């Protein structure tokens, strides 16, 4: 916040310098440039708005990260998964002592660029535009469109701030040095912030150009997407944290979701291609994406999962979330082969499991890149499975690092450092593809920002929370998602307390299954921690994290096994975290902001 009053002229200067290279812009002479002239031209405003998109989660690589940035889902490389490792279904083996957030060792940050300062910087940029549109001579419909775009992005930033901190300072207009009463005032109550977010998004949805400003820009569908996401989050947070007024937000989620489901009735049939396609243009179910172009704009997303960079594994509980193809859990299905046989464990499972963690195999390898089958049938069983559901540009067996070196077996604990697992034996490879094998950190698969898989889950959950979930809703939501994994339909009448004997007895069995589907579909996308927070179920994340069944005698290196046994479930972090503290549901404000503003009171107990 201390930088906010200094940024307007600098940001405007950068904008205009960049815009000068665009020959289609209608710019005033250089000696006449000002905020007023910038926002007089439709094309200038369009260029100005491009900077707002930087706040989206994608596959971008941020070169330097401080410790706190490991908690971010903004840097889009493999650290997008760090939030999930602060929940129950994933584990980061870079944290040998466990996630500080789960072990009650999280400290009040002295400063937070990523989660506090940058959102307010982006909010200020939006407010500059909103204020200047008031006096712009553009046509009213054009001004309404850009106001809608600005309101969308401001709501997006405030949603992220409120998610972390609860009450936050609401800034309605561009601030100047004369606005110290706002800048250095108390936090705005959550009730007001949430109401303002919904107000702004509702106005934007009604006034934005339905088609946006061209392909893959903010339009009616994108605004409705944020209403759906925010409405579900705030509605369920209010319900389970006893804040009241949850219905308003859940109804908003349902309405927005219904509009999107009508506009995007089909899902892309291949789950893996949603995350690993060279182009997402025109792909069914993609509402907004970030484009990457070979040799022009690239990421390192896939490389991180085909090298020694990634340290993310799925837990035993996470793998168990994936149903068998008969639609039953691993605890009830007669087709489940058990844990002690690593090949049988993966048989007849949801195809999305094979796209999320590599299935087991073993091959003979020579000179790193040459391989042959061992001749043992089960050791090559999943080669045909992957050939059926994938292709040579996506996920095939054997597993290859970015340069084409072969991983001899999965699970891969040793000895090659790349593509390995250390924590659970279930390495995540959701963003693994072979579009550019042979080139490191030059990945160009497009990144989905908003996709319909999430909307179907939002709608199903909100309908249940409002008492309206039934088989017809299951058929247009849960069962459409299951179809991509070739899993039998959810039959609501058959879901009772016995459907999953390991379920949560305090949660309705049908709701538990809706939440299971959310866990499977969104695994590794940064949702799980915040889902547990809004459900007030962070006790799930303090359970012991276990991995696959392993025999120490099968490996040369020492593998941590539960109870130090010779064989059993892998257990990377010894012990069980303490009970999750109530005050951890909200994060602490950075201490430098409280020093700057005595009225900015810290969240309870974090003092």
CA–CA distance, 317 with 105 (Å, rounded to integer): 24
- Cα 582–chain centre separation: 24
Domain boundaries in the chain?
A: 4-218
CA distance from start to end of the chain: 20
Place of tokens 């994936």: 322
Question: DSSP string spanning 88-149?
Answer: SSEEETT-TT--TTTTT-----S--IIIIIHHHHHHHHHHHHHHHHTT--S-HHHHHHHHHH
- State the pLDDT at residue 37: 78
Give the residue among 236, 156, 248, 265 at the shortest CA–CA distance from 204.
Answer: 156
Q: Name the DSSP letter for residue 27.
A: -
pLDDT in tens, 571-590: 999 999 999 999 999 999 99
The fold for domain 4-218 equals 1.25.40
32-71 pLDDT, tens per residue? 446 667 899 999 999 999 999 988 988 875 433 343 443 3
Q: Which residues contact 146 (CB under 8 A, 6 or more apart)?
A: 45, 49, 129, 133, 138
Q: Secondary structure of 264-303 in the HEC alphabet?
A: CCCCCCCCHHHCCCCCCCCCCCEEEEECCECCCECECHHH
Residues (pLDDT < 50) of the chain are 1-33, 62-77
Each residue of 381-410: pLDDT tens digit? Answer: 999 999 999 999 999 999 999 999 999 999
In terms of pTM, does the model score above 0.85? Answer: yes
Q: What is the pLDDT of residue 7?
A: 36
SS3 of 581, please? coil
8 A C-beta contact, residue 146 and residue 45: yes
Nearest to 310 by CA among 395, 449, 432: 432
């Amino acid at each position: 916040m201390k930088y906010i009053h200094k940024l307007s002229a600098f940001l405007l200067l950068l904008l205009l310098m960049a815009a000068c290279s665009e020959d289609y812009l209608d710019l005033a002479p250089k000696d006449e440039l000002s905020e007023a002239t910038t926002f007089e031209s439709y094309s200038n405003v369009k260029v100005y708005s491009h900077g707002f998109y930087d706040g989206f989660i994608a596959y971008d690589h941020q070169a330097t990260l401080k410790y706190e940035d490991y908690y971010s889902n903004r840097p889009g490389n493999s650290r997008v998964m760090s939030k999930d490792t602060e929940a129950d279904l994933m584990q980061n083996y870079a944290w040998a002592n466990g996630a500080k957030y789960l072990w009650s060792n999280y400290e009040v940050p002295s400063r937070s660029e990523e989660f506090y300062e940058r959102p307010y910087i982006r909010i200020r940029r939006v407010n500059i535009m909103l204020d200047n549109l008031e006096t712009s001579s553009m046509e009213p419909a054009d001004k309404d469109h850009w106001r809608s775009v600005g309101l969308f992005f401001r709501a997006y930033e405030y949603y992220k701030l409120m998610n972390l901190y609860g009450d936050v300072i609401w800034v309605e207009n561009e601030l100047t040095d004369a606005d110290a009463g706002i800048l250095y005032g108390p936090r705005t109550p959550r009730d007001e912030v949430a109401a303002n977010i919904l107000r702004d998004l509702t106005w934007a949805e009604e006034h934005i150009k339905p088609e946006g400003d061209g392909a893959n820009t903010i339009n009616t569908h994108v605004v409705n997407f944020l209403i759906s996401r925010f409405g579900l989050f705030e509605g369920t947070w209010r319900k389970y944290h006893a804040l009241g007024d949850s219905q308003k937000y859940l109804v908003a989620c349902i309405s927005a979701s219904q509009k999107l489901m009508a506009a995007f009735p089909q899902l892309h049939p291949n789950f893996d291609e949603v995350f690993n396609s060279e182009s997402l243009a025109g792909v069914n179910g993609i509402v907004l994406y970030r484009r990457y172009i070979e040799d022009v704009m690239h990421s390192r997303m896939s490389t991180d999962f085909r090298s020694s960079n990634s340290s993310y594994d799925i837990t035993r509980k996470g793998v168990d979330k994936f149903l068998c193809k008969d639609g039953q859990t691993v605890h009830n299905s007669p087709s489940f082969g058990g844990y002690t046989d690593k090949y049988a464990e993966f048989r007849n499972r949801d195809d999305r499991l094979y796209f999320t963690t590599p299935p087991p195999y073993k091959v003979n390898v020579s000179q790193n890149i040459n391989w042959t089958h061992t001749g043992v049938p089960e050791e090559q069983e999943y080669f045909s499975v992957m050939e059926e559901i994938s292709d040579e540009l996506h996920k095939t067996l054997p597993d290859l690092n970015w340069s084409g070196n072969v991983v001899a077996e999965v699970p891969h604990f040793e000895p090659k450092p790349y593509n390995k697992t250390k924590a659970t034996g279930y390495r995540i490879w959701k963003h693994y593809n072979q579009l550019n094998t042979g080139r490191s950190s030059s990945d160009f698969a497009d990144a989905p920002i908003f996709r319909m898989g999430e909307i179907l889950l939002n709608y199903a959950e909100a309908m249940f929370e409002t008492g309206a979930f039934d088989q017809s809703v299951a058929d247009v939501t849960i069962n459409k998602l299951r179809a991509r994994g070739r899993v039998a339909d959810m039959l609501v009448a058959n879901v009772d307390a016995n459907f999953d004997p390991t379920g949560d007895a305090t949660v309705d069995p049908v709701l538990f299954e809706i939440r299971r589907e959310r866990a499977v579909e969104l695994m590794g996308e940064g949702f799980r921690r915040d889902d547990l927070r809004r459900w007030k179920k962070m006790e799930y994340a303090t359970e012991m994290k276990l991995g696959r069944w392993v025999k120490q005698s099968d490996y040369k290196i020492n593998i941590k096994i539960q109870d130090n046994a010779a064989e059993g479930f892998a257990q990377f972090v010894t012990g069980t975290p303490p009970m999750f503290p109530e005050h951890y549901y909200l994060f602490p404000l950075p201490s430098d902001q409280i020093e700057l503003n005595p009225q900015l009171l810290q969240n309870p107990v974090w003092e």
